[in-house]
Amino acid sequence: MNNPKIIPADSVRIKYNEARKDMKLEQHSHNFYQIIYIKEGLIEFKINGKKYTAGKNSLIFISNLESHELKVLEYPYKRYYVLIKPHYLHSLISEPVLVSIFKHRPAHFNHVIALRPEDSVYVSNTFKSMYDEASTSMPFWEFTLCSYFFLLLTFLFRKYKDSFPITTINKPMETILDVQKYIEQHFTENIVLEEVSKRFYSNKFYMSHLFKKITGFSFKEYLILQRILKSKELLINSSESITHVGLYSGFNNVNHFIRIFRQYEGITPYQYRKKHAAYQ
């Protein structure tokens, strides 16, 4: 774990909610990594096309690139949820094995961990402690919160190792992790697979295959999704024109931006901005 810094505003949110009727979330995505801990209830989740039913004492891990929706099957639905901005997660935990449960989606990945009864007390208490720290903001709460978070992931790795996409690191895998980080840092630039392969001294076909196998996304799709996420933030939080939003997000022209955005989001950038303006 890196030395924790003061948590920037909006970098992490820890909430507790209860719903007793009529709750349903339509397909959506946001630029946060998300953990949901279900204390009570039964939920049907759909995450990037995979469907799950999760009940009491289940954990759900959702990456910032995954669209998801849920329907409550049994009430009351009581849950903690944690939303973490990518840059904060990376500053908090540098260990790729632990971070892999948020970032990597091989074909066999299961988004849900059903806790054994003997483990649920520890997890429940840890979430409550994290929530209390974030809510009360006592002196050095950031350090305590980071410690709880790191301990939670370590506990889960020891108890549910098979739930983590990565359990050991070898050289090819380390290269893909570096490529993934490179895309996240340079997605606004004109980067292509062939040039990135040369940068990391790898064959582009081998890199393409391995990247898909480890991350769950093709190189091109991962790059596009990073750009889409950036554009959605700008559409909501700035008054920049659609043209400038597309350029600032790495798209080379506005028509290409609108076409790709509609392909992934089902609506145009203008419609997305208008829709979310109603919630602010």
Domains and CATH numbers, the chain: 12-163 (2.60.120.280), 171-277 (1.10.10.60)
H helices of 160-253, in order, are 171-186, 193-199, 204-215, 219-237, 242-248
**What is the model's pLDDT at position 276?**
79
Decide if 19 contacts 74 (C-beta within 8 A).
no
* pLDDT value at 141 more than 90: no
For 33, the enclosing helix (H) or strand (E) is strand 33-47
Express each pLDDT in 182-238 by its tens digit.
999 999 999 999 999 999 999 999 999 999 999 999 999 999 999 999 999 999 999
Reading the block at residue 140, the tokens are 């050095």
The model's confidence at residue 255, banded by pLDDT at 50, 70 and 90, is very high
This prediction has a pTM of 0.89
H-run or E-run covering 141: helix 141-159
What is the four-CA torsion angle of 102, 107, 113, 116, rounded to 10 degrees?
Answer: -140
Q: How far apart are CA 99 and CA 95, in angstroms?
A: 6
| CA gap 22, 18 in Å, rounded | 12
36 within 8 A of 59, measured Cβ to Cβ = yes
Asked whether the beta carbons of 258 and 246 are under 8 A apart, the reply is yes
Q: How confident is the model at residue 278 (pLDDT cuts 50, 70, 90)?
A: low
Say whether the peptide bond before residue 106 is cis (omega within 30 degrees of 0): no
**Residues facing 140 on adjacent strands:** none
Buried b or exposed e, range 44-57, using 16+ CB within 10 angstroms: ebebbeeebebeeb
Lowest mean pLDDT among 12-16, 36-40, 209-213, 248-252: 12-16
For residue 75, is pLDDT > 80?
yes
